[in-house]
Structures are given as structure tokens and as C-alpha cells.
Chain A
Amino acid sequence: MTQPSSCPDTPTDVAKLDRRSFLKTGLGGTLFLGAVSTTMTLTGCASSPSERLPAVGTRMDARYQFRFLTDTDIEIFEALLPAILGPSLPEQPQSRRLIIAHTIERMDAGITQFGPANQSELRRLLDLLGFSLTRITIARVWSSWPDVTTGEAEAFLQRWQNSSIGLFNNGYMALVKISNVAFYGHQDQWHLSGYPGPPQWAVEALPQFKNA
């Protein structure tokens, strides 16, 4: 499903609300804005999971099928991950691109298990960041996500981390937590934390690792 081009980028009535009044809290730390998602759903502009092709050659067999993250969400994380992960990402463009793509796929897989209530909280956070009006007025990110520089992403993260408004701290935690867990938690990045993995002698002795 592609969004009809007639869909407004931002619901008009959102603009009338002042920013505190429509922020609601929730999840992992997530934050959010019922008005945007609701209006988008009502106007038939609800976002659907990305059908984007994953980074070429990332999977041996099947290509990853996104179940939660939309094209816009993916753009958001493509812009944020270089700031969240910083020098933990390789410089070399091809492997950098692959690692970012893999991390976003794993985030999507993890979010699938969040359950409906926490998923909708996260949806509201990502919609808030995704719609240009709220991206600009609330997140104060001026460029659209594909054009956001690492410096701008870093400034955004710091604003939300250091804000005196708990809701923004909460949104910050949600974004960095799902990113950090999906990245540092995966076998491919264990070396970054010096974690050697499960003890080899135990792996060799246990039946569930046989003929795997």
C-alpha cells in the first residue's frame, strides 16, 4: 500500500493545539501524540509497514519483511543511528550502510513482540517525528530526515535528553534504548563490548546446540 499523494503531510487540526496539550506519555519511554495518528487513520492516511527492500545481500535466504516500521520510520532511524551509535559504526560506507540496515531490521523484529499497546505508543512517537509540522515544532528538527546531518541528529538527541520536560527524556530513552539494544545486543557487535559470547565448553556440551 502506498499513501495516496493527496494525503496531507500533517493534519491541519494538529496545528491548532499547543504542544503540551496533545503530548501524552507512555512506553519505554515513549511519548506521544494521539492526535496525529488518529487523524491520519481517520483520513485514510495511516502508515503501513515498509515494503522496502533490505540492504542487498544482507540475508542468505529470504529478504526481511518489515512488520512495524514504515518508510518514514526507517528514514528517522537512518538519520539517528549515526548519532546514537557514533564511532561504534564503521567508517567504510558499504559496511556502515549494512550494519545500519541490519540494526533497523532487528529493531523491527523486536518491536513486533511489544504487543499492541506499546506498539501504538511507539507509533505515536514515530509519527510525531515523522510528520513535518510536528518534527519542526516539537522535535525542532528543521530538515526532513533523509537530509538530517549527524550533527543535527546529535543536537536533537541532546535536546530531548537534557530537556526539563520528562516526556522528552522519555522519548529520548525510547529511541536510544531500542537502538542500543538491537545494536550492542547482537552477536555481530559483541566484540565492541568485549563480550566473548556464551562459554564455548557449555555450547559444545549442550544438546540444543547440536545439529543446529
Chain B
Amino acid sequence: MSVNDPFTEGLELGWKVTDGASLTENQTIEADVVVIGTGAGGGTSAEILARAGLSVILVEEGGLYHQKDFKMNELTAYASLYQDGMSRVTQDGAIAILQGRCVGGSTTVNWTSSFRTPDETLNYWANQLGMGDLTPDAMAPWFDGREQRHNIEPWAVDPNTNNDVLRQGCEQLGYAWQIIPRNVKGCWNLGYCGVGCPTNAKQGALTTTIPGALANDTTLIHRLRADRLVMNQDRIDHLLASAMSADGVSPSGVTVTLKARHFVVAASAIGSPGLLLRSDIPDPFNRIGKRSFLHPVNATTAIMPEKVEPYYGAPQSIYSDEFNFKEGVDGPAGFKLEVPPLHPAMSAGVIPHHGQKQIDAMTNLPWTQSTLALVRDGFHPDSPGGNVSLRGDGSPVLDYPISDYLWTGLRKAFGIMAELQFAAGARKVSFVHMDSDWYSSWAEASAALDKLPMEAHRVRLFTAHQMGGCGMGRHPENSVVSSFGEHHHVSNLSVHDASIFPTSIGANPQLSVYALAARNSSRLASKLTG
């Protein structure tokens, strides 16, 4: 149970880390490669490129927070570690978007579930989308490598009650369930992964690849926002970036010009297409920002006879894929079943009520179990995803219409989740929906569900998995980058993050991002050093 903090030690050793808010003069800096974004994709890329002997500058819009700052406090964490202080939503406000904005990106706040890209998804990319180089066999060594790097193993400790209810429900109903592999080392089983791991047990970018990069020839500048890639003829000449002021959100007026031979964009879905759109990167077929995916999430809550304490213990340790690919990879919308951790601020923000109804739900928190469904989007013609565009101030916004195809999947998921909770002994169950009551039997819940409107703003929807918008593919007519993340039109530009997925993943995405970024960075490193 080591609690050595790699950042504190590294900073003492002289790691090159600059807080953009401390800059007082415009400046120009240069390296072999500039990597934009320090999350799953950016961290992996920086470490591999730096270990190959290249000089790297890592640019991060959010701040640097590490163990000293992680005090298991929701309000400070949501304000400092999440995009838009946790207020990010889709354009019409119907889907709440959870996304990281700090060194380590979403991996600093994610829940540590670590799945390989499902074979069904890789085979779909290979067979339907023509990317034969991404078959399960071809990707296996990259998953192996990343599982080692991030210490990914099935969780060996008993699941907390919140997760165990999902297991029990599956057992009762004869549905498949499995133990979730997690990227942790010496985990204290606390349950605060979503607000920054206080023990450094989580093996996200912040404790693995970013220290690995900084130990080599890498400079990290945080609170520096990449504004625009500037082209000179057919290549990117430099990146223009704005330093943030001490509040972390408003630009200070200081600009930094970053020059490099190659630029790796890893600002994630929404962020990466936003940067490419601001930069007027050649896009003859209007592909940038299109096909953005979310794994739209709906949830049910149950009051259990025993205490659940859903705020304690590894947040996710049990899942069920019973309904994920059952009706075919491109059939009706499939979904993966998991549970969310529930702390008071998160719960209060998710439950769509006020007054007595809100109080009743909050008072029962210690007995509350919640189940969620991650709906697999992007595999069916009726699920084309959303579209990222720019607001007047240049910030990206995602328009994500919810098709009837997805509503059908969401309604089915509501029913299955309630059924599972009753099978596990729930006293009463409620759909996270503006019009839902509490129901005391599966029959009652199911009858009520038939009448609940499946509509934006009535159903509370979430996403912690943003994907696509710079999709990979073989043809420039329908993709932005190649299956190696190389931009189709600009030779010194690559994209190494979740934005390159041509569909959603059908599983929590971090390991898919790590593995593809590792593969594509290794190739890039040999090109640049060759």
C-alpha cells in the first residue's frame, strides 16, 4: 500500500512541468512532437514517443491535480477536474456529459473498468468498415502490453453490495455476469475513483504514462488551451495556444506558439473535432465532428432491504453482457449493464426531482442500489451518432439527436434493470425519469414503464464515454484518419484518442484508447526516428 506520489517526487527531481497560468509573456517553443491532451490517448502517445528518443511537449487545457489535491470531496473535484465544472451537456441539454479536464484527462476521474474492445466490435470494423488490420488477433498484443502497463486484472476482492446486487439479479434470472478487470495497484477499495484516487492506486495516465513521459524528454504545460493548428501549405506549421488564468477557465491573454515536426491531437471526442474545426483542417467531405458517439446511459434506482452504502468500495466490479450483442452486432440497440457509484452530490444531480420527492430519494441513499445501461450506438443505420460544431466563441458543442432506435433500446434496458433489481430482492424500484414513481413489484414497474414517455428531457440520460468525431476508415469520403490515426490529408497530423472510433466500443473505452494509441504511437515513433 504505497502512497508515494510520483508527481511530488518527479517535480523534486526536476521534471519539466509548467503551469500556463504562471506565464506572463508570449513565447514560442519547439519540440519533435507536440501532443495535445494528456488523457488516455495523449499520455500513452507521449510516453512512447519520448521513450523512442523524441522530444515531446504535452499540452493540457485543465490543471495539474495529484494526490495532495485528492481529498475525496465531490464538490471541489467536480469543479476542478471535469469539463465545464460538470455542467457539460449535449446541445439541447438532454444528455449530461461527464468528461475529464485535468492532467490525465478522463482517466484521472474514471471508474477503472478496463475492457478490451469486444471481438464483435473489432470484427465489425474489420469486416464491415474494411479495417482488416484491427482484428482481435492483430490487436491482442497491444491489449496484452497495455494490460501490463496499467496493471489491469480482474478485481480479486469481493464486490461491494451495489455491484453484488447486479450479480445476484443475474444469478436469479439466469443472465450472464462477469467480474470487471480494473487498472489498479494496491487499491484500498475506497470508492472515490470519480473524484481523483487519493491513494495513487489507480493506474491511469496520471500515475503511469505521464510520469513515464516526463522521466524522458517531455515538457508538460497545463492550463494551456490548444486553440488552432496553423497550416503552411500542406503541413501544420505550428499550434497556437492560450494560457488560462489562475481561475482555470478564462484565458489570461498570454499566447504560446508551439512548433514541431509532428502534431498528435488527443483532446478526446468533442475536443479533438473541435480543434480540427477551429483550425480549418482540410475536410473536403465534411467528416470532422460527424458520427460522434456517447454510449447513452439510463439508470434505475432500487431501495434494498439491507444497507448498500453505494459510496464505498470499488465503484464497478460486476457487469453483464447478456444483452450487449445478443441480437447481432448491428441489430436492435444492445447494452452493457453495470452499476454507478453514488455519492451525495452526484445522486442529487442525477435524481430529477425537488422537494419531498428529492428528499425521499436522498434519505434512502445508504439503502440505494443503482444499475445503468450503456447503449451501444453507431452500429446501425438508425444510430448515426451526433455532430460536433463550434459555438460563436469557438468552443465545441455536440448535437446528439436520440433516434427511435435508441429509445427502443433504452426502454428495454429500463425494464431489464428493474427486473434484475426485483430479482435481487429490491423493496421498490424507480426509473431515473421525471415521471417515474417508486414501484413495489416488477409487474407494477413493468406496467408503468409501458406508459412512460421515452423522450428527451423526460428520461435522465448521461454519458461518460465520448467517442468518434474524427472517425478512422479507409476512405476520406467517410472518415478523417486512417486506422493508424494518420490524417488523410495532412501528413504531419495524427489523432490518438477516443475520437477516432468509427462506432462506439460496446464497452468502457479506456483500454481501447490505450491500446490503439500505443499501436499508432509505436508506428509514428519509428517513422519519426527512422
Q: A26-B93, A118-B87, A170-B94 are in contact. Are A195 and B365 (CB under 8 A)?
A: yes
A53 at the interface (CB under 8 A from B): no
Q: In angstroms, how far is the closest chain A Cβ from the Cβ of B420?
A: 24
A87 at the interface (CB under 8 A from B): yes
Q: Are B67 and A157 in contact (CB under 8 A)?
A: no
CA distance A109 to B395 in the complex (A): 22
B123 at the interface (CB under 8 A from A): no
| Per-position 1/0 for B35-73, Cβ under 8 A of A | 000000000000000000000000000000001111110
Residues of A within 8 A of B366 (CB): 193-195
B104 at the interface (CB under 8 A from A): no
Interface residues of B in 79-113 (CB under 8 A from A): 79-80, 84-89, 91-94, 96
Residues of B within 8 A of A173 (CB): 93, 352, 457
B358 at the interface (CB under 8 A from A): yes
Q: Are A185 and B93 in contact (CB under 8 A)?
A: no
Q: Are B96 and A28 in contact (CB under 8 A)?
A: yes
Nearest A residue to B359, CB-CB: A88
Q: Are B87 and A27 in contact (CB under 8 A)?
A: yes
Contact for A186 among B75, B80, B250, B393, CB less than 8 A: B75
Chain B interface size range? 35 or more
A110 at the interface (CB under 8 A from B): yes
Residues of B within 8 A of A118 (CB): 84, 87-88
Q: Are A28 and B362 in contact (CB under 8 A)?
A: no
Q: In angstroms, how far is the closest chain B Cβ from the Cβ of A28?
A: 5
Q: Are A169 and B434 in contact (CB under 8 A)?
A: yes
Contact for A114 among B84, B346, B348, CB less than 8 A: B84
A208 at the interface (CB under 8 A from B): yes
Q: Are A114 and B87 in contact (CB under 8 A)?
A: yes
Residues of B within 8 A of A166 (CB): 92, 94, 455-457
CA distance A153 to B355 in the complex (A): 11
Q: Are B397 and A117 in contact (CB under 8 A)?
A: yes
Q: Are B79 and A110 in contact (CB under 8 A)?
A: yes
Residues of B within 8 A of A128 (CB): none
Q: A114-B87, A170-B457 are in contact. Are A198 and B354 (CB under 8 A)?
A: no
Q: In angstroms, how far is the closest chain A Cβ from the Cβ of B395?
A: 5
Q: Are B75 and A180 in contact (CB under 8 A)?
A: no
Contact for A170 among B79, B92, B247, CB less than 8 A: B92
A83 at the interface (CB under 8 A from B): yes
| Per-position 1/0 for B437-480, Cβ under 8 A of A | 00000000000000000011110000000000000000000000
Main secondary structure of the interface of A (DSSP, over half): helix
Q: Are B395 and A117 in contact (CB under 8 A)?
A: yes
Q: In angstroms, how far is the closest chain B Cβ from the Cβ of A21?
A: 17
Nearest B residue to A30, CB-CB: B93
CA distance A113 to B246 in the complex (A): 12
Q: A29-B457, A193-B363 are in contact. Are A113 and B347 (CB under 8 A)?
A: no
A181 at the interface (CB under 8 A from B): yes
Q: In angstroms, how far is the closest chain A Cβ from the Cβ of B451?
A: 15
Q: In angstroms, how far is the closest chain B Cβ from the Cβ of A108?
A: 11
Residues of B within 8 A of A199 (CB): 190, 312
Q: Are B348 and A209 in contact (CB under 8 A)?
A: no
Q: In angstroms, how far is the closest chain A Cβ from the Cβ of B346?
A: 8
Residues of A within 8 A of B192 (CB): 198
Q: Are A209 and B356 in contact (CB under 8 A)?
A: no
Q: A25-B91, A29-B89 are in contact. Are A192 and B68 (CB under 8 A)?
A: no
B125 at the interface (CB under 8 A from A): no
CA distance A111 to B457 in the complex (A): 22
Q: Are A180 and B457 in contact (CB under 8 A)?
A: no
CA distance A84 to B312 in the complex (A): 28
Residues of A within 8 A of B70 (CB): 208
A139 at the interface (CB under 8 A from B): no
B199 at the interface (CB under 8 A from A): yes
Residues of B within 8 A of A208 (CB): 67-71, 198
23 contacts between A and B (CB under 8 A): A25-B93, A88-B358, A110-B79, A113-B86, A115-B84, A117-B395, A118-B87, A161-B354, A166-B92, A173-B352, A176-B353, A181-B75, A184-B347, A184-B362, A185-B343, A185-B348, A193-B348, A198-B71, A202-B72, A203-B72, A206-B198, A207-B67, A208-B70
Q: A31-B93, A195-B311 are in contact. List 18 more A-B contacts (CB 8 A).
A: A25-B91, A83-B355, A85-B358, A113-B86, A169-B434, A169-B458, A170-B92, A173-B93, A176-B352, A180-B358, A182-B75, A185-B74, A185-B75, A193-B344, A194-B366, A198-B72, A207-B67, A208-B71
Closest 5 CB pairs of A and B: A185-B345, A113-B85, A169-B457, A29-B93, A184-B348
Binding site for B on A (CB under 8 A): 25-31, 83-88, 106, 109-118, 154, 157, 161, 166, 169-170, 173-174, 176-177, 179-186, 189-190, 192-195, 198-199, 202-203, 205-209
